Each structure stands twice: as structure tokens, then as C-alpha cells.
Chain A
């Protein structure tokens, strides 16, 4: 039976791990290579790096981080943030990333998703969707949550599947950093609309939120940062809790 995945996410800025509260007020929380190794040894099913300020700043530091991490972690490594082109994807994959997540570039030019999934295979192309509620729908935001594209998130999710995305990483902008739980409505609506796996992100504050993300949000995988990062829970505790709630996990 396929297991639901727990993915600790490390937000990286200038080669260091940070985690924002609603994308601002960043705190430093360590070395990404060491953190990733701790997580993979602790049973993380996958590691995610998001180079959060990459759209604006020099991002060459991330390549070095990926290269070092991939020599130490033998679980899948997903890297995103500031990925603009097929060439950027190629570079990250060559450094040892197993999957690359594309956000702004996919909104601006879906051909990047089409071309990269053809060239490298859908298995390594993750489309990251930052969505914010507006009335009774959700809109897709770009540039680390700064710009509203006005695009309907549900329609966009379907389009990205058609373009060749292998997975969707859906972040609720309203919930990110709040620790009040995933936007379950958003997750379940997108998951029901597409036939590719969904990774839920944004808002985890406790282990019940992970359970909700999978059971009600219909997510194949749950991503979280703060709860693991500041030692509130270990990945192992999270897995034990999910298992006690009848969710299949790798132990």
C-alpha cells in the first residue's frame, strides 16, 4: 500500500535555513545540509528546499546546498524557488535535486512546464501553487506571494496537470505561518479536480493538522516546516500519530 508522505520543508535564504511568518519576519534556524540529514535520518519521506528570496536575489548558493545535501541524503530531494527556465531545472537536477518545483515561471509561461516535463519526465516536475482566497474562489499568487495573478487556482491546477506536472505543491497564503491548519477546502477541491498527487502546505501547527490534510484535504503528502523545525514535534512522532489515526505511513 502506498504510504502518505511527510515532507519537512526548509526555507533557504543565502544558504541558510529560515522560516517566515506569512512570508515576512524571517528567523535563522540553521544549516540546510545538516538539517536535511537530521530529517532524513529521522524518517522524513522526502526533503524540500524552497529558496524563498530567489526571485529577487542571487541564488547561486542554493546549487552548492543541493549538491552537498544530495551526497548525504538518500531520500528524494525537491528544490524550488526562483526556478525560471528549463536551464535552471537542468542545473538543479545536475546538482542532485530529484524534483524541481516551479512557481512564478509556470504562471507566466506554462511552456516551461510542458518543455521540462518532456525533457526530464513528469516525475521530477512539481508545480507549486500559492493560493489566496478571494470571495468564494482562490487566486494564484506569484513572486513569493507578492503579486496576484488573478488566475483561478482550481482551473490553473488542472491546466498544470495537462501541461505535464507530476505533482502539485499547494500552499494556502492565508494559512502559511499561522499554525491554524491547512486550508482543507482548497486542498480537497484541487485534489478532487486533478489525477496527480497533491502535497498540502501552509498552516500546520499541530499533528492533527497533518491528519486533516490527508483525510479531509485528500493530500498524498503533507509538508510542514515550523512544527519540525523548532523541535515542537519530530518526524517520528508525527508518523506515530498519523499511524494511530489509521493513516498509512512508512515506519
Chain B
């Protein structure tokens, strides 16, 4: 089996690569590429994302055929994709970081800034927070409710379809930190930086 990490120059993905390679050992091939033909034929895709919503969408679109290829992979072929951080946020219809930017539209909703309640809550939301698992997600197999995950973000995904929410976390308000809709998985937190529990989530995705 091949798992492909999409390298679309969205910032630093070395930690994502290291963690997947650690978990995959030599049983699963981890490929890092922006080559559309390779992504087309892979079994699973990981879509990381750092920086702003707009910079990530722009970077995706700057690679010819990539967005179409991902749409085909996810919406028609229904193969598993895991979005991490801004990778998850881009599932939305629209994001409001920097300027209003159209997302991939796979899970309807929007990405807006976390309400810091007039400075009571510092932003970015950086550090370890507990997740509240609200529905059984395949990537949460053997993951305990209230597990700690590592977060770093200032914007949150607000999906319209509440059924897609698989976990929330409490910071300023209860916000969405993981989604699952059929073959589409996403985490706002960084499983690649969330110690053994995070690696378990990566393992669950690889073993889907």
C-alpha cells in the first residue's frame, strides 16, 4: 500500500513525514510528492497545511491539476484522505484568514478566527489540549476520550454539517478539532507532534 503526503510547499512538513515513516516502518510505502500522476494512483493521501488558509489554497492551486486530482480522489474514487491543521480547514467552502478565500468545499462550512474574548484567550491556541470525542471515528480506534493532542492555530473550522464532527476541544468555546465524513478525515491538532497518542492516530489512518 502507498500513502502519499502531498508536498505543495505549504510550509514545514518534515515532522509529518518523520511521523508517518516512523509508524509505517517498512510495511507501508510513504511517498512525498506534488506529482499529480503519482497522487492519482496512490491508496491514501495526507494533506498537511501550515501558514494561512489563503496561502495554503494558493499553493494548492499553483500546482497544475492538483485540486482537480484531489477532488477526483476524494469525491469520486472515495479514497481516504487525512487533512492536518490547515489541511483540514481547507475542506471548508470558505476561509476568512487574510482575505475571503474559497476552500475545497468537501465539508460545507467556514473557517473563522477563534474568538479571543477581548484578549482573555491568547492566540494562537498553542499547546496540549484534551479532545472530546463526539462520535466513533475510525482514526480514533483505541484513542481514549479526553486524550491530549498538540494544537497550534488561530482559526477554527465551523462546519454546517454537525454530523461530520468527530471531536471538539475547549478553548474560548467548544470548537471542532476533528472531522470524519465517509472517506474524509481531518484533525485540527497535529497527530505528528502529539506523542504516542498522535502516532496511534496516524497508525489508525494507515491501517484503514
List the interface of chain A (C-beta within 8 A of B): 1-5, 40, 45, 70-71, 74-77, 93-98, 119-124, 166-167, 195-197, 220-221, 250
Q: Are A93 and B124 in contact (CB under 8 A)?
A: no
CB proximity of A195 to chain B, nearest CB, Å: 5
CB proximity of B3 to chain A, nearest CB, Å: 17
**In the complex, which residues of chain A have a beta carbon less than 8 angstroms from the beta carbon of B124?**
122-123, 166-167, 196-197
**In the complex, which residues of chain A have a beta carbon less than 8 angstroms from the beta carbon of B12?**
93-94, 97-98, 120, 124
Q: Looking at chain B's contact residues, is the secondary structure mostly helix, strand, loop, or mixed?
A: mixed
Q: Are A2 and B199 in contact (CB under 8 A)?
A: no
- Contact pick for B129, options A2, A75, A93, CB 8 Å: A2
How many residues of B are counted as interface, with CB atoms below 8 angstroms from the partner's CB atoms? 38
Q: Looking at chain A's contact residues, is the secondary structure mostly helix, strand, loop, or mixed?
A: loop
Q: Are A221 and B15 in contact (CB under 8 A)?
A: no
**In the complex, which residues of chain B have a beta carbon less than 8 angstroms from the beta carbon of A2?**
125, 127-129, 151, 171
- Contact pick for B126, options A71, A93, A195, A197, CB 8 Å: A197
Q: Are B15 and A96 in contact (CB under 8 A)?
A: yes
Q: Are A166 and B14 in contact (CB under 8 A)?
A: no
Q: Are B15 and A195 in contact (CB under 8 A)?
A: no
CB proximity of A197 to chain B, nearest CB, Å: 5
Q: Are A74 and B126 in contact (CB under 8 A)?
A: no
Q: Are B148 and A3 in contact (CB under 8 A)?
A: yes
Q: Are B128 and A197 in contact (CB under 8 A)?
A: no
CB proximity of B204 to chain A, nearest CB, Å: 15
Q: Are A124 and B50 in contact (CB under 8 A)?
A: yes
Per-residue A-contact encoding for B52-85, CB less than 8 Å = 1, 0 else: 1001000000000000000000000000000000
